[in-house]
């Protein structure tokens, strides 16, 4: 097993087998730049690049890692990504002396995570949210339309999605104020306006697009993964009471656009390859442009923890897996572009809520509490149906290797009272 000269605990998400990319700024000052996570440290790629140690990778411009976003690097494509990743692994290997034995360069290039501020990894031009979990769609449909009509007639034929709001995508650790909007109580004759009372989470994963495609030229499913730079955790906060009133006939609007949180570290698709697995059987067989030609998903364990203001420790409330998604990332990309839509470097696509067949695998409070009829019991004696002010949500996920992990770190967000 490859090991780094930097000590990495077996439970660390950031092994040398991972090396996720992120954008950071030293807390003591300085411009944002790009690095990779390794154990409890960050390798500053702008320093490594400046020292000439990445020239062998085929990078076509200088200073690409001294930029405040990953967009330019994302645009270079799979071959360059793979060469750069391989070179970084080589430089961090315990058997490679180039960086290991160059003490001055090590001091300049290797920073403690506690000494930096993590920033949004990309300038997100567009954000698309899908609805790719069959279990989630079935549960929600059953609640609102009954078991016989749980899935809409189109659901097993195409990946359902909608265009989200990129301006309100925020980095982990950003507090979220409770949104306001119109709601129509069940027995009311007219809507009311006020703070959402049914604020929810949605456990999702997202992926950043690399080079993209020209308008009018779709991306075939067989080649769609070549467009995936890497993956992040996503919490697509949702105001269910606002959504219930506004979503017909066009779908979510204010109930989703107030905030979407993402984790700071972008895990390269290549790092997930050892964990590739088959997804669920698809029946009926999708149309030819959505056909899968290989195992199309990954064994990524996912968890959600909740901590109320009067709780000493957080409590795990959800445990599920990315591999449960019915529609693969490649199928979602192919469908997104089949009509001619162009994707661009830094675009973010998200899976929609990820749920499994067991109750603890349901990826949102709407499902976990079955629309409020089965409250969650917390360790301090409290209950939850929806999020309360000062509740803090932590999402995490990882792939478990033999003696190492490829993980995503944590995605946190705390609910603050509504802004008057």
Is there a catalytic annotation at residue 305? no
Contacts of 170 (CB under 8 A, 6+ apart): 120, 176, 259, 260, 261, 262
C-alpha 103: how far from chain center: 36
Residues 34 and 110: their CA atoms lie apart, in Å, by 12
Query: Do the beta carbons of residue 319 and residue 303 sit within 8 Å?
Result: yes
Q: How far apart are the C-alpha atoms of 286 and 237, rounded to whole Å?
A: 30
Instruction: Check residue 115 and give left, alpha or beta (phi > 0: left; psi -120 to 50: alpha).
Output: alpha
| Residue among 71, 72, 98, 73 nearest 87 (CA) | 98
The residue annotated as part of the active site, out of 13, 136, 335, 336, is 136
Judge contact between 33 and 44, C-beta under 8 A.
yes
User: Between the CA of residue 416 and those of 179, 236, 355, 413, 419, what are the distances in Å?
Assistant: 10, 16, 27, 10, 9
Nearest by Cα to 234 from 352, 121, 123: 352
Residues in the chain: 420
User: What distances in angstroms separate CA 73 from CA 8, 25, 118, 141, 204, one per listed residue?
Assistant: 26, 18, 18, 41, 24
| Residues labelled as active-site residues | 136
């Amino acid at each position: 097993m490859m090991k780094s000269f930097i000590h990495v605990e077996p439970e660390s998400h950031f092994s040398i087998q991972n090396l996720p990319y992120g954008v950071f700024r030293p807390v003591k000052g300085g411009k944002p730049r790009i690095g990779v996570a390794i154990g409890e440290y960050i390798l500053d790629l702008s320093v490594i690049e400046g020292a000439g140690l990445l020239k062998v990778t085929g990078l076509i411009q200088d200073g690409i890692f001294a930029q405040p976003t990953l967009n330019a690097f994302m645009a270079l494509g799979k071959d360059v990504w793979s060469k750069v990743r391989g070179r970084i692994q080589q430089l961090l290997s315990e058997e490679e002396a180039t960086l290991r034995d160059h003490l001055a360069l090590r001091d300049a290039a290797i920073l403690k995570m506690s000494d930096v501020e993590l920033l949004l990894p990309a300038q997100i031009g567009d954000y698309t949210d899908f609805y790719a979990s069959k279990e989630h769609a079935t549960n929600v449909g059953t609640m609102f339309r009954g078991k016989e009509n749980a899935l809409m007639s189109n659901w097993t034929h195409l990946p359902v999605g909608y265009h989200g709001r990129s301006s309100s995508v925020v980095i982990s650790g950003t507090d979220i104020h409770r949104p306001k909007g119109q709601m129509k109580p069940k027995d009311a004759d007219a809507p009311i306006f006020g703070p959402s009372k049914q604020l929810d989470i949605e456990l999702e994963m997202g992926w950043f697009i690399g080079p993209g495609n020209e308008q009018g030229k779709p991306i075939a499913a067989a080649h769609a993964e070549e467009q995936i730079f890497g993956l992040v955790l996503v919490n697509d906060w949702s105001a269910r009471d606002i959504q219930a009133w506004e979503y017909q006939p066009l779908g979510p609007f204010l109930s989703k656009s107030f905030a979407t949180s993402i984790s700071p570290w972008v895990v390269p698709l290549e790092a997930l390859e050892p964990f590739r697995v088959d997804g669920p059987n698809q029946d009926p067989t999708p149309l030819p442009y959505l056909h899968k030609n290989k195992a199309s998903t990954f064994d990524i364990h996912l968890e959600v923890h909740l901590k109320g203001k009067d709780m000493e420790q957080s409590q795990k409330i959800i445990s599920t897996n990315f591999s449960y998604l019915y529609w693969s990332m490649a199928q979602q990309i192919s469908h997104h572009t089949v009509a001619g839509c162009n994707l661009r470097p830094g675009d973010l696509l998200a899976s929609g809520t990820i749920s499994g067949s067991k109750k603890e695998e349901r990826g949102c409070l709407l499902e976990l509490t079955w629309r409020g009829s089965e409250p969650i019991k917390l360790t301090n004696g409290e209950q939850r149906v929806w999020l309360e002010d000062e509740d803090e949500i932590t999402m995490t996920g990882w792939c478990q290797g033999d003696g190492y992990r490829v993980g995503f770190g944590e995605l946190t967000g705390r609910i603050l009272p509504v802004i008057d």
